[in-house]
């Protein structure tokens, strides 16, 4: 499963509060959804946490988001570990502040042997960036003689993505009613089912999550073929 967590800023604006308050409120939804996914046996959950485009936001907001991310990792890692959750990240993580990278490294190390939910944080992430980075890696390997260009197929190319061992999401959820994928997992969601809700992310709870899963269970997935 993958989620585009949208609507924090709008949630705050509707209440006459700064955008950062909306981001803080959204943390509670993250906690609830991660716990729910862990409890019902979801194998992988990818959260669109911070996109490459988000760096264009006001400097104060970006600084606040990075501070919140570092604090959240530090504060929640014990409970995640106790619930057998494994933490990973995808994206151009080297763009993040050193303090955040440090907390991510601690989270990786502490949870690396856990066998439950794999929680993937998409950080400084862009779907086009991922494809470009994968193409660059493949090109370098071909130039060194380790890859024959004519033999590259989808399976071969996917090995150069940020996390090739993580399966493509079966279900993509988007909050706040926007009907776009916003440069998220462009390669991986080729055949994902999509569920959109008007609920803003800070108001998203496990009840909406279960509604999305019920909708998914009622669908027929043919992957371009016939029934």
Report the catalytic residues. 6, 54
CB 169 within 8 A of CB 44: yes
- 49: nearest Cα among 171, 193, 182, 205: 182
C-alpha span between 15 and 202 (Å, rounded): 12
Phi, psi at 170, each rounded to 5°: -75, -30
Q: Which two tokens stand for residue 88?
A: 């990973």
Is beta strand 86-90 parallel, antiparallel or unpaired with respect to 44-51?
unpaired
Give CA–CA dist 119/79, Å, rounded.
13
């Amino acid at each position: 499963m993958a989620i585009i967590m949208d609507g924090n800023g709008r949630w705050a604006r509707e209440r006459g509060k700064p955008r950062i308050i909306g981001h803080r409120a959204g943390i509670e939804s993250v906690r609830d959804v991660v716990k729910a996914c862990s409890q019902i046996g979801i194998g992988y959950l990818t959260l669109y946490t911070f996109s490459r485009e988000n760096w264009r936001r006001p400097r104060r907001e970006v600084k606040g988001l990075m501070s919140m991310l570092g604090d959240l990792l530090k504060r929640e890692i014990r409970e995640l570990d106790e619930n057998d959750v494994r933490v990973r990240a995808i994206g151009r993580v080297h763009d993040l502040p050193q303090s955040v990278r440090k907390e991510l490294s601690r989270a990786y190390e502490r949870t690396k042997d856990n066998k439950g939910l794999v929680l993937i944080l998409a950080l400084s992430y862009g779907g086009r960036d991922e494809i470009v980075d994968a193409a660059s890696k493949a090109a370098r390997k071909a130039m060194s003689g380790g890859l024959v260009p004519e033999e590259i197929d989808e399976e071969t190319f996917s090995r150069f993505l940020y996390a090739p061992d993580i399966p493509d999401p079966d279900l993509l959820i988007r909050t706040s009613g926007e009907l776009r994928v916003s440069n998220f997992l462009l390669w991986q969601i080729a055949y994902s089912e999509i569920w959109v809700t008007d609920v803003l992310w800070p108001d998203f709870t496990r009840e909406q999550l279960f509604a999305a899963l019920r909708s998914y269970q009622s669908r027929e997935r043919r992957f371009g073929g016939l029934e």
